[in-house]
Structure 1
Amino acid sequence: MKKQHRVPASTRSTESEPAFFLHSTRGVLVSLVLFMSACPGIANAEELRVETPSGLKKAAESAQPGDIITIVGADWHDVELKLTLTGTPEKPVTVRSQVAWTGESSLRLHGAYGVLDGFTFKNGSLKSGHVIRVAGSHHRVTRCTIENYNPAEVDVRYPWLSLYGHHHRVDHCRLAGKNHSGNMLVVWLVGEGEVGSHRITGNHFVDMARGDGNGFEALRIGTSEFSLKSAHCVVAENLFENCDGEIELISNKSCDNIYERNTIVGCAGALTLRHGNNCIVRENLILGDGDRRSGGIRVVGTGHQIIGNHIEGVGDRIDGAIALSAGVPDPKLHQHAQVQNVLIDGNTLIDNAGEEFVMGHGLGSRSRTLLPKDVTVKNTRRTGKRLLKQLKPEDVGPVASPK
């Protein structure tokens, strides 16, 4: 057999390579054209830069799914704007802000599948209304900041971030320095259509001054009027620090919500299930941090589950770590319903003022004569290290990377 000679690579002919390369390139180009034709949203998506409110409004009106609008230039002062964004689940319309909104600026968002990214409202104030009001459905508010947006008078009431409609997401936002009446974040359940089903995750609620009455909650879901509606909201992995507005730090006033893996540090109030039924409070870390007015978990209503929470060093704001309220016979919507059929399982209670469990908080006041019934308490831990993660400022808010 004749011996075969291997030709060194450096001396091989390349005459046939251009034809092969051209054939491959044509295949790629044809495939790319076909892909872009099949996905017109990708082919037509635009990135627009605007510098004025009128420019933003015009860009939003003509935006197509997948478009990104970025606000650039000087800060905006006394701008009151309503935007309607209409995207799709795969291609939302995104508005990013690289400017601060000041003075009496406010923003209303309607439509569906829009994203507000990186907005900052600071050192301003309103006479009424909402700083950011989100309606419609399936919007996202992410990496936004509202800070020191306070009127001259503490009793002027307006919320900072309001959610109407359904299926919104608020994540990695910072709400800081509120000193007047009204909530930092509130979910409204008004209307006959679908409401709720929001996700509130990874946010930083910090430095809310002590109020002079009701209406100073950091977070509220629902109202007494609509408290028997199912909201189906999830409040998870948020950090609450030094929020001292009132006894209800978090005020639940609706049904079927979940509060889990939140960290609460040094807040003069309690995670309160004030109205509504069938909520889950699970694996929250609540630390008094030396605040004698801090509280743990306060329960009103039926069918709740209080599971796996760690409460340590809280004060006597609600007379104990976990307080089950006394109820009113045949209560009206704004009154205290009797606590019934509640599971309290696997909670850790360490060095708290008052009692571990208060059975009948407020008994005898305002016609509250009914003690809790059908309550199961089991597997309580009173020693041991913390098993739950303590969230830090760097884990939440705009400084953290959105998931």
Structure 2
Amino acid sequence: MSCLRKVLRRFCFIIAGLPGVVAAEAQVVKVNSPETFEKALEKATPGSTIIIANGTYTNWYVEVNISGTAQKPIIIRGESQNKVVCTGEVRKPAFLIKGDYVELSNISFQRGSIYRQGKEYGVLAELLNTKHSRIHHVACQNDTAKTQFMPLIIVGGNGEGNRVDHCSFRQNIDNQEIQVRISKDEVPQRTLIDHNEFTDKPKVTWANFNGGECVQVGQDPVLLGNQQAFTTVRDNHFVRCDAEPEVISNKSSANRYLNNLFEDCTGELVMRGGHDCIIDSNKFIGGNGIRINGTGHTIAYNSFKKVANPIRLMYGMANGKNTTGFYIAASNCKIEHNQIEDAQTGILIGDSKGVDWTGKFDTKRYPSRTIQDVPPSENQISDNRMVRTANEIVRNDQ
């Protein structure tokens, strides 16, 4: 029997060594144009790496529709950090990634002009219907949106488990930085946005002072706010982000905002719509704080120092998860274990009372009353610590 085992082992060894039996090693290819990129992509297999040579590129548009695996992702990266620069006019996705387990890194988008024309739109990188793909160590600086509500990076479709991390966004103009795109039929699940830096974002030039969020999770809080995305935004750093009133705009449900740092931002972390989100362990220094609409949120263990408006619970046009209103009043939220220092008013219960939105939104599209006269209700406020705060809790909800 032992002799038979030896023969079988030798036979298996010989078979394994025959040509075509063992898969070829994953390739590493360097490219220097969209054309050479596409040729490399045709031959790529799980584990392949495509390196984009150092240089400055315009009119760079590529589509990645092949997939890697968890153990062998497809790697697309610039040759050297900050030395692969994409610039010029952007009228289509520069990198449109449709495959699963694809990583994009080491690309610097600088001084780009981003356009939309009809259904054609420019974006620097888009993850569309992908699973477990990643954009990381990408830099976006001095990029300008030429049409309102244009993001630099999109996570969209019915993907799952995608990640945008360790990217830097500096001095970008009139744009949104990262958008989790949600529609009636497409809701990316469990997106992770972490360890990114957003710095020196100037006020947008759009007339209605809108369209300049750093992170936007959902776009239609009125009709699609109940869509559950389970997005996590954590460990990001926002510094002097002044583009519009919302640094982070939540417009969907069941998301988490954890351990982010906000320094001297005139914009706020805003629950514009949606329900059942968690805002935990964030730190605010200077600037503004958190604004709450919607139901079932938990705001806990956050710290505020020298913040103008640490926590605001807002009036709405309706109340509850299954009602329609242009704004939903803050209700059934937990506000606990937060620390507030050097504020005039720590927690304001009932802001925007009686604000009239008549003529400011389409009531046919959004069948809502136009006056914010529904007060916040049934919110639990407990164990918050106030230091050098003149008015710890102010109620304006009667």
**TM-score band, normalised by shorter chain:** 0.7 to 0.9
What are the ranges of 5 or more consecutive residues in structure 1 without an aligned counterpart?
1-26, 289-293, 385-403
- Following the alignment from structure 1 to structure 2, what is the Cα–Cα distance between the partners of residues 101 and 205? 19
What is the CA distance between 1:159 and its match in structure 2?
1.0
Change (3 A) 1:80 1:305: same
- Following the alignment from structure 1 to structure 2, what is the Cα–Cα distance between the partners of residues 194 and 159? 17
233-242 or 67-76: bigger deviation: 67-76
CA contact (8 A) 1:239 1:263 kept: yes
Q: Which residue of 2 aligns with 1:125?
A: 113
Letter paired with 1:227: G
Q: Does 1:82 align with 2:63?
A: yes
Any idea what the Cα deviations from partners look like across 1:349-378, whole Å, max 9, x if unmatched? Answer: 00124x211111101113111211111111
Q: Does 1:168 align with 2:172?
A: no
Between 1 and 2, higher relative CO (CA 8 Å, sep ≥ 6) is seen in 1
Q: Which residue of 2 aligns with 1:359?
A: 349
1:59 alignment partner, SS class: helix
Match of 1:221 among 173, 194, 217: 217
- Following the alignment from structure 1 to structure 2, what is the Cα–Cα distance between the partners of residues 368 and 377? 22
Q: Which residue of 1 aligns with 2:201?
A: 208
What is the CA distance between 1:307 and its match in structure 2?
0.5
What is the CA distance between 1:333 and its match in structure 2?
5.0
Which stretches of structure 1, 4 residues or longer, exceed 6 Å deviation after superposition?
A: 33-37
Q: Does 1:305 align with 2:303?
A: no
Q: Which residue of 1 aligns with 2:360?
A: none
Letter paired with 1:172: H
- Following the alignment from structure 1 to structure 2, what is the Cα–Cα distance between the partners of residues 89 and 287? 39
Any idea what the Cα deviations from partners look like across 1:214-262, whole Å, max 9, x if unmatched? Answer: 2111111002242210010010100001110111111000000000000
Matches of residues 39-188 of structure 1 in structure 2 within 5 Å?
A: 43-98=24-79, 99-105=84-90, 106-128=94-116, 129=121, 130-137=123-130, 138-150=132-144, 156-165=148-157, 166=159, 167-180=161-174, 182-188=175-181
What is the CA distance between 1:141 and its match in structure 2?
0.3
Q: Which residue of 1 aligns with 2:384?
A: 380
Q: Does 1:343 align with 2:334?
A: yes
Q: Which residue of 2 aligns with 1:196?
A: 189
Q: Quick check: which has more Rg, 1 or 2?
A: 1
- Following the alignment from structure 2 to structure 1, what is the Cα–Cα distance between the partners of residues 237 and 194? 9
2:96 alignment partner, SS class: strand
**What count of residue pairs does the alignment treat as equivalent?**
343
Change (3 A) 1:96 1:362: same
What is the CA distance between 1:45 and its match in structure 2?
1.2
Letter paired with 1:176: R
Q: Which residue of 1 aligns with 2:317?
A: 328
Change (3 A) 1:299 1:173: same
1:373 alignment partner, SS class: coil
- Following the alignment from structure 1 to structure 2, what is the Cα–Cα distance between the partners of residues 84 and 214? 34
- Following the alignment from structure 1 to structure 2, what is the Cα–Cα distance between the partners of residues 100 and 36? 44
Which structure dedicates a bigger proportion of its chain to helix? 1
Identity %: 27
- Following the alignment from structure 1 to structure 2, what is the Cα–Cα distance between the partners of residues 161 and 301? 27
RMSD of Structure 2 on Structure 1 (CA): 2.7
What are the ranges of 5 or more consecutive residues in structure 2 without an aligned counterpart?
1-8, 357-370, 389-398
Change (3 A) 1:309 1:40: farther
Matches of residues 1-40 of structure 1 in structure 2 within 5 Å?
A: none
- Following the alignment from structure 2 to structure 1, what is the Cα–Cα distance between the partners of residues 172 and 302? 27
Change (3 A) 1:87 1:36: farther
Matches of residues 255-270 of structure 1 in structure 2 within 5 Å?
A: 255-270=253-268
